[in-house]
Homo-oligomer: A and B are copies of this chain.
Amino acid sequence: MNTNKSLSDLASSNRQTPLNILDCTIRDGGLMNDSRFDDKVVRAIYDCCADSGINYMEIGFKNSKKLYSPDKYGAWRFCDESDILRIIGDSKREVKLAAMADTGKSDYKTDILPKDKSPIDLIRVACYSHQINDALDMVKDAKDKGYEVSLNLMAICALKESELSRDLEILSESDADIIYLMDSFGSLFCENVRYLMEKYRRSLSAAGKKIGFHAHNNLQLAFAKSIEAVECGVDFIDATMAGLGRGAGNCAMELMLGYVGRDVRPSLKCVQNHIEPMREKLGWGFANSYMITGFLNEHPRDAMAYQEAETQTDITEFFDNMLSKKAQ
């Protein structure tokens, strides 16, 4: 039976086309600690990416210092080139770098430098549906500056089918190289991912766009959904070390590496030495509060507040509150 594989020829994945694995531990994980990571952790992830055959490392956000005070937020909310270069130092490795710019939260015109002045390879522009036009400006700006560019349309689960179709048409005509299918609330099921991958492909492939997928683990389905996307031929797949990311977290990199048959060993070491030690303080990962917002297809913010509260109220009180909110 095809489950009997040694880890070296583990690839349970059947796909043939190249897959770009993108690590976004520091970027997504930064939502749990105001993007404050020790240099040694950032460097450890960088080295792990290179050692494991991960294609991209998203090192943080290119967001505005006017909105996010550098007194409160760490370097990886801004990704100044000087900080990135300090991490890379004299030992540049074979892994591309990415940074995410949130529409409406980034001084992109000034803060995103021409590509030849930056070690960043890929700019990922994140937006909600109502921000699409501004996002397109940011995409064009980054493309003109020489970057690979993705557009990550968030919270599609909150759109009507017709709205999503309309947005995908706009995106197919954009300058973006890659369009991401975003499971922003962790609320998608595997069958939804199959359906949406097909929809994205129909809308975008003819225009030469690559497709990416980013899952959250609110329903303990992040890995399962990521497998679906990979088997549907996705071009870019996001994962994070130990699933460290906002709230319930992401698809764990260790699982994805094992699944596609890349080198899982460096990720085991990285997680043990640098990520697990942060678990108690950062507190990411599946919890029933995240399950509730996932099932209800709601932003996880209320669950994050619940998890972070000094004194937690009864979970059924949280549940009832979320149900009432949904019913309004």
Give residues in A with beta carbon < 8 Å to B.
1-8, 10, 12, 157-161, 164, 187-190, 192, 217, 219-224, 227, 252, 254-255, 258, 264-265, 268-269, 271-272, 288, 291-292, 295-297, 314-316, 319, 323, 326-327
Partner of A222, one of B187, B220, B297: B220
Q: A190-B227, A271-B288, A319-B268 are in contact. Are A297 and B4 (CB under 8 A)?
A: yes
Q: Please, which residue of chain B has its CB at the minimum distance from the CB of A223?
A: B220
Known: A220-B220, A269-B314. 4 other contacts (CB 8 A): A1-B164, A219-B255, A255-B291, A268-B292
Q: A223-B219, A272-B315 are in contact. Are A188 and B3 (CB under 8 A)?
A: yes
Main secondary structure of the interface of A (DSSP, over half): helix
The 6 residue pairs across chains A and B that have the minimum distance between CB atoms? A224-B224, A272-B315, A268-B315, A220-B223, A258-B295, A3-B157
- List residues of chain B with CB within 8 A of the CB of A189: 3, 12, 227
Copies in the complex: 2
Q: Is the CB of A326 within 8 A of B6?
A: yes
Q: Is the CB of A5 within 8 A of B227?
A: no
Give the residue among A222, A291, A295 with the most B Cβ atoms within 10 A: A295
- List residues of chain B with CB within 8 A of the CB of A159: 1
Partner of A3, one of B187, B223, B291: B187
Q: Please, which residue of chain B has its CB at the minimum distance from the CB of A222?
A: B220
Q: Is the CB of A224 within 8 A of B272?
A: no
